[in-house]
Amino acid sequence: MSQAIQSMRSQLHLSHSQLFTYLQCSLRFSFKYLLGLPVEHSSIALHFGKAIHAALEVFYQGIKETGKKPSLIKLEYTFINGLFQSMERTDAPVLYKKDMPDTSTAIAMGKKMLQVLHEESYLEGYHIEGVELPLSAPLYNHEGKEMDIQLMGIIDLLLRDNKGNLVAVDHKTAKQPKSQGSVDSDLQLTAYSYLLAANKYVFPRSEVMCRFDVLRKLKTPKLEIYNTTRGPDARKRFAKLSAAVLAGIENKVFLPCSSWMCADCEYSKACKKW
C-alpha cells in the first residue's frame, strides 16, 4: 500500500466503494463496514475481478515506466497469483458461477481476457498520467459547509489525450454489455470527476472526460470502450448525495434493498435474521 493511501486512510473518510455499497443496500453496508460481520461465502467473480485488476495495474504501470507493454506471461502470472492470494485471504467457501464452475475455468477465462487486453488496449494518442491514483476531497453537508470527513477514491487509470484533456478510466469485467444510459449516469465516474476537480486537476466548471474499459467475460472475450463526460452539475448532485448518505449513516438508517445483488450477497443469512 502506498504512503499516500496509508495517510488518506488515517483521516476520517468515506470511500467511494462504501458510498456505492450504502446506496445499493444500506443493510449490507452496515453488516460489512459497521458490524464487520464475517462473510458467509465469497464469490468467484469478486476474486476474479480483483486478480484481473492487479494484472491491469501491472500492465499500465509497466507502460508508464518503460513505454513498453509488459509481457503477457507477466500479466498471467500476476493474475493467477492474485486469484489464489485473494481466495486464500478468506475462510469462507467460494461460490462458483455457471460461467466459472471451478478455479481452472476462471484461470482459462482470465488468460483469454488478458490476451485481448494485451493485443487491443487502446492507448494510441494518450499519455499515462497515473495508475491507481489515490485522491481525497472534502465532503459538504446539506448547508454547503465543509465537513471533517473526506471522500477517498482510487482512479484506476488517468490518461491525457493529445489535445491535453484528462480522461479518467475505470476498468470493469462483465458478461453483459453496458448501455450508454448506465454509463452516463454511473456514480463511480462522477466520483472520479469530483475528486479530479477538487484536487485541481481540472477547472471547477470543466467537463471531465471519463471512460469505462470493459473486458467482456465471453467465450471469445472482447474489450469494449464506453466514453462519457461529467460536468459541474453532476458533481454538485454527487456532493448532495454523499451528504445524504452520511446523514443516513449518522442516523443509523440501514434497510434491506432487494435486488439482483441479493443472489450473491455474502450476508444473506444475517439479512434473513434481521
Please report whether residue 268 would count as binding ligand SF4 according to CB under 6 A: yes
Q: Which long-range contacts (CB under 8 A, 24 or more apart) does 67-74 make?
A: 69/118, 69/121, 72/114, 72/115, 72/118
262 is an interface residue for ligand SF4 by CB under 6 A: yes
Please state the closest distance from residue 260 (CB atom) to ligand SF4, in A.
9
Residue with Cβ nearer ligand SF4 (209 or 270):
270
- Under the binding rule (CB under 6 A), the answer on residue 271 touching ligand SF4 is yes
- Closest distance between ligand SF4 and the C-beta of residue 24, in Å? 7
Q: Is 39 in the site for ligand SF4 (CB under 6 A)?
A: no
Q: 208-216 and 222-230: which strand pairing? A: antiparallel
242-261 positions binding ligand SF4, by CB under 6 A = 256-258, 261
Nearer to ligand SF4, 128 or 271 (CB): 271
Query: Distance of CA 273 to CAs 9, 47, 86, 215, 270, Å?
Result: 32, 27, 28, 37, 5
Name which of residues 16 to 35 contact ligand SF4 (CB under 6 A).
25, 27-28
**Rounded least distance, CB 35 to ligand SF4, Å:** 12
Using CB under 6 A, count the residues that bind ligand SF4. Answer: 12
Site string for ligand SF4, 203-242 (x = CB under 6 A): ----------------------------------------
The residue assigned the cell 455474502 is 266
Q: Which contacts qualify for 154-158: CB closer than 8 Å, 24 or more apart?
A: 154/5, 155/130, 155/192, 155/195, 155/196, 156/53, 156/56, 156/131, 156/132, 157/56, 157/60, 157/128, 157/130, 157/131, 157/213, 158/128, 158/129, 158/130, 158/131, 158/133, 158/196, 158/201
Contact of 215 with 172, CB cutoff 8 Å:
yes
Q: Which of 159, 198, 246, 265 binds ligand SF4 (CB under 6 A)?
A: 265
Sole window of 46-54, 113-121, 197-205, 266-274 interacting with ligand SF4 (rule: CB under 6 A): 266-274
In the complex, which residues of this chain contact ligand SF4 (CB under 6 A)?
Answer: 25, 27-28, 256-258, 261-262, 265, 267-268, 271
